[in-house]
Amino acid sequence: MIIEGILLGILGNGAYDLVKSLLKDIFGEEDEDLTQRLYQCIEVASKAFFSKYQDEFGNPNSSFLARQENLDKILRSIYYGNDDELINIISPKGFDGAKDASKDSILYFVENLEKAMLNDFRLNMILTEKRHITESREMGDKIYHLLSQIVNSSKNEAVIVPDNKEKFTLTDGTGNKLPFKEGEVYLQKYPNGVQIEYMVKNGLIYVDFTDLYGQKAYYEVDFDGNVKNTKFPYDLSEYKIDIPMKDIISKENFILPNGCCKEIYKLKWDKSVSIVYDLSRKMQQLEVTGGCSISHRDKLIKIS
């Protein structure tokens, strides 16, 4: 990418260096390519904003777009762990008596920014992955929500539910508690194509999950959320794993008798990851305690 000329954009000469500095603070390392891409998108959206609203809400040096905190929020909005809607967190206030930006005008800026980012290959990939991670987490929450609301067809059925699984019961309008029938398979379908089949038995939750893209995955999960067994739509060796460096407390390496390498990571908050790689550094076994997000479409396992 060519940077000459960008520095003289509508946001002023110092904006690029500010984007670069903020990105380093957010992600912990410099990424010149990402800096340029994001800066160009902000520039495109800013030009569209001032082309439409002129100086109604101040000029480039006095409007809400001149606030460093807003630039910081824009950059953080692409981060995987940030679920805030940009339209709800940008401050409308400017400087030097500039009129506060209206909700509609901020929405216009945000829409142009998102359009510009989606037109950029790398940023589109980041936003798509972020969205998929969010959807996967929401689907996981829905599974547990569903497991807390299944109602048996007959109140007189003999059911076997461990006493410590009281959270998986529903109290109906007459005050009766309706637990799950152990061993019975339930089905839930969603309009977007997601389908979940699940069963509770012997202290485990068995889930057959069809995602937004029609890909099937199978999980056996305990009541603490730890995955005990899985069947992915692709071979495990095709997946990559992302473990946040900031969460790693310790790492141990072992050479197994068959020559494979086993890595054990101890993470913050009593989480852990155990991985077995073959001689070609392809993943053969994986155990995760504490949760993870899995994008089968992108073949990525992200430790959360």
| Residues 146-195 pLDDT 10s | 554 443 333 333 233 333 444 444 444 455 555 556 777 777 777 767 77
Give the distance from CA 13 to its chain's centroid: 33
Average pLDDT over all residues of the chain: 75
pTM of the model: 0.46
Give the distance from CA 142 to its chain's centroid: 15
- Rounded to 10 degrees, the C-alpha dihedral 287/289/292/294 comes to 20
Q: In what order do the strands lie in the sheet with 300-303?
A: 240-242, 300-303, 292-295
Beta-carbon contacts of residue 92 (< 8 Å; ≥ 6 apart): 57, 64, 100, 101, 102, 103, 106
Least confident of 51-60, 158-167, 187-196, 250-259: 158-167
Give the pLDDT score at 141. Answer: 60
pLDDT digit string (tens) for 187-228? 777 776 777 787 877 777 788 888 767 778 887 877 665 667
Q: Is the dihedral of CA 39, 45, 46, 51 positive or negative?
A: positive
Beta-carbon contacts of residue 284 (< 8 Å; ≥ 6 apart): 236, 237, 260, 276, 277, 278
Mean pLDDT (whole number) for 33-42: 85
Least confident of 56-60, 84-88, 192-196: 192-196
Give the pLDDT score at 18. Answer: 75
- pLDDT, greater one: 92 or 11: 92
Mean pLDDT (whole number) for 59-76: 85
User: Is the predicted pLDDT of residue 3 greater than 70, yes or no?
Assistant: no
Give the pLDDT score at 153. Answer: 32
Give the pLDDT score at 183. Answer: 79
What CA–CA distance (Å, rounded) separates 18 from 269?
34
pLDDT digit string (tens) for 126-144? 787 777 666 655 655 655 5
Residue 46 CB burial class (10 angstroms; 0-12, 13-18, ≥19)? buried
Nearest Cα to Cα of residue 251 among 275, 285, 225: 275
